[in-house]
Amino acid sequence: MFNDSTNWVIVVFASLFGLGVVYSIARMIIASVSPETNNQIEQYFIARDVKRHFRFLLKRGYKISHLEHVPHHYAGWHFQLESPDNNLSIILDQQERPWLAFEKVKTEKQSQISLEAMIYYLTERKVFIGNSYDSAITSRSQVFKNTAKLLRRYVVQIEKHLRDHSESIRNELGKIQEQYDDLLVEEFEQRLKSRQH
């Protein structure tokens, strides 16, 4: 009885492993033969993950305004969600921390701030997420999950602040981001010092 159960478990795991290998090989072949098809497949999976993790924002009227997969090692995925009034964008990129962009000209640096810096500001400097937030994150799904968790908690506060302070926020963003970046550097330096001792 025990041997039959063990054999079945081994067969199931071997089958799953074999399917994983076949899938990986098939994706590599598709990527080399038809990069456009591979790109569409990647975009489908990114969109699926966005809809799964950020469903609460989509229900609030947010729309996916940009979704992209750049098929090279350092580029990866990028997507953007727009608020219903088009005054707030939430930007996630594989190479950067989550960003918020405000107003009509969202591409200008003075209209952008990292999500963590905005939370630090809105909580009157009580919530500092720091480098520990992203130190162990390796997968897109984990990045989406962690970002969604933060947004679920703070998006209403962010939207309200934007509505109530739309005139002054542009002047504040640069200073807030600079303060937060200084704290990140400080935290990183303290970590290095503690490792050396």
82 and 157: one domain?
Answer: yes
Pair of tokens at residue 166: 């739309």
Q: Which domain holds residue 12?
A: 1-33
The percent of residues in the chain predicted with pLDDT above 70, rounded, is 77
Residue with the larger pLDDT of the pair 135 and 158: 158
pLDDT tens profile 148-158: 999 999 999 99
- Pick the more confident residue, 196 or 167: 196
- Same domain, yes or no, for 117 and 169? yes
Is there a single domain that holds both residue 88 and residue 147?
A: yes
Among residues 116, 110, 81, 123, which one has the least CA distance to residue 96? Answer: 116
What is the per-residue pLDDT across 50-68, written as a single tens digit (0 to 9) for each? Answer: 999 999 999 999 999 988 8
Same domain, 96 and 58: yes
Model confidence band, residue 73 (pLDDT cutoffs 50, 70, 90): low
- Listed in sequence order, the residues at least 6 apart from 92 whose beta carbon sits closer than 8 Å to its beta carbon are 77, 78, 79, 80, 98, 99, 143, 144, 147
d(CA 191, CA 84): 41
Do 69 and 25 lie in one domain? The reply is: no
Q: 27 and 108: one domain? A: no
In this structure, the answer to whether residues 17 and 63 fall within a common structural domain is no
Q: Where are the beta strands (DSSP E) in the chain?
A: 63-70, 76-82, 88-93, 99-102, 112-114
**Mean predicted lDDT score pLDDT of the chain:** 81
Whether pTM > 0.85 for this model: the answer is no
Number of domains present in the structure of the chain: 2
Identify whether residues 9 and 53 lie together within a single domain: no
